[in-house]
Every structure is written in C-alpha cells, then in structure tokens.
Amino acid sequence: MELIFLGTSAGVPTRTRNVTAMLLNLQHPTRAGLWLFDCGEGTQHQLQHTAFHPGKLDKIFITHLHGDHLFGLPGLLCSRSMAGNVQPLHIYGPAGIREFVQTALRLSGSWTDYPLTIEEVTPGLVVDDGLRKVTAWPLAHPVECYGYRIEEHDKPGALDAAALQAAGVQPGPLFQRLKAGETVTLADGRVINGADYLAAAQPGKKLAIFGDTSPCPEALALAHGVDVMVHEATLEAAMEEKANSRGHSSTRQAAQLAADAGAGKLIITHISSRYDAQSSQALLAECRATFSQTQLAEDFLVVRI
C-alpha cells in the first residue's frame, strides 16, 4: 500500500497546505484499487499534481461532514463525470452524506454518468473485498465522525515444495490445493494435509486513518498494532485544553495514543493554519518526545506501508 497526502491543513487552506484529503493506492498485481479518504475543498486540483486520475478512484471514505473534509466532493464527482469516466464509484460516510451529495447535484443541475453508490456507515465492518477489510470506529467530535481501520487479510505461507516432493508428491494441480490448506488423498491412498507443508501466514499490513477527534476510548482499539497511524495534531501541547474543547487533539495526545496502541509509525496531519513551516517542526518535536517514530505530513508526502 502507498499513502499520498493531498491536503494536511486544519479548517482552512494555507499557501503550502490544502485541507484534508488522502489517497490510498492499493498496489496488487490483479486487484489494485485507489481509495480517497476525505475530500476537502480543492482536492481535485491537488490530484492534478499527482500521477493519479479521478477516474481511477473506486471508493471514497468520508470521516465526517465538516467542510474542510467534504466541500471538494461535489466538484470532484462532477469533473469525474465530465471527463467521460464510466467506472463505478462507491462513497462511504456518516449519516447525511447521501443527502449532501444528492442535494448538491440536484440544486446545481448536475449528474454523474457513472454508477454512484452512497452508503451511510455505522460502527463496524464497512467493506471486505476479499483482500482487505475496512472497519469504522466512532470518534469524539462535535458532529458524527469516524476513523477507518484498513487491514489486509493475512497472506498464506509459502508451500514447502521440496518436502512434498521428498514425500513423493510431484508438482501439479495437487500443489494448488495443498497451498490452499486442503487435505488431499493420493493415488496410493495416503492422505496429505496441506497445512502441514505451509510456512506461517504472512500478516497483512494495517493502517488507521483518524478523523478529527479528542481523546476517546475507541481510539486505542482503532489504532491497536497498526503499521501506520494517521492522526490529527491540530494544536501544540500548551493548547491542549482548547483543542479538546473543539473535538481535537494535541501533539502530546496523538503521540501518547500511538505509544499506547503499539503503532509502528505515527503521521501527524490536520495542522492548524497558525503554524507555518518552521513552527510545524516544533509540533513534530513535541510528538517525538513521546513517540520517536513520528513523521509530519506535508502536502504530496508519499508513505509506503
């Protein structure tokens, strides 16, 4: 997987940061995908500075309905249609996302020439495509807000072909069944259990993408054991009370959550416009004092997972 940050500012865009949007490029030899998480104003403009095209998007996940996470959606949907894209698109988001999209299209006399499905999520499983699953976790914000946990299914371990051949099983169709963990009966009557010849499964990658939130119990489960955790750090630790009163987190709180959850890496985003490039480094330093494996997101940052 590859995560591309299209916008990293909180509330309003700045000269160097657009408002929130992230692309998740699911790199798979036969079942690749391109997912967008949040779609702040100007997201389609940001996409034009990447190698990715809106027509390749197949899923959009919205964390909540505040404008800095949503106002770019109608324009993106219409531009995708005007470009002649016919590939289906599925939108997931909190209650109200369907009304928002349908009202924006209706009042502007717009439509989509591709199949558009809008699903209002509740806590729990959102989608499972057989290779990876997405679950929604409720967060603490003034409006209904979710974080999304993306988990690849574990990959089966390698088949020990040498051991099978030593046992008299020759390469062929049986190997595929054994690799799937099946039990097969050989021509000589012997029963072979594929699981006995498989290495340990390879754990899938895990990613947690938070919406806006103040600290809450669900956050720990959302981020537990993930390879990468993306979390807001809207304000510095000295302004923690103000951040929490508005449903946001401080640098210290984001870093402490990453440490408590056993995350492999923390990426902080949703930075208040009060911080320029230099003062943003102070936010990063505050996080690293608690959780050393922290990275500060900038627009167009690419992170391999």
Q: What are phi and psi of 150, to 5 degrees?
A: -110, 125
Instruction: Please tell me whether residue 132 adopts helix, strand or coil conformation.
Output: strand
Contact 76, 54 (CB under 8 A): yes
Q: Which residue type sits at 75?
A: G
Of the candidates 38, 58, 68, 212, the residue annotated as catalytic is 68
With beta carbons less than 8 A apart as the criterion, state whether 156 and 179 touch. Answer: yes
Nearest to 202, CA basis, from 152, 160, 263, 150? 152
Tokens of 284: 């990063």
Q: Are 303 and 274 in contact (CB under 8 A)?
A: no
Of 53, 12, 49, the C-alpha closest to 36 is 53
CB 192 within 8 A of CB 159: no
Distance, C-alpha 282 to centroid of its chain: 26
| 68 catalytic per annotation | yes
Residue bearing tokens 């190698």: 51
The answer to whether 208 and 230 have CB atoms below 8 angstroms apart is yes
> Active-site residues: which are they?
68
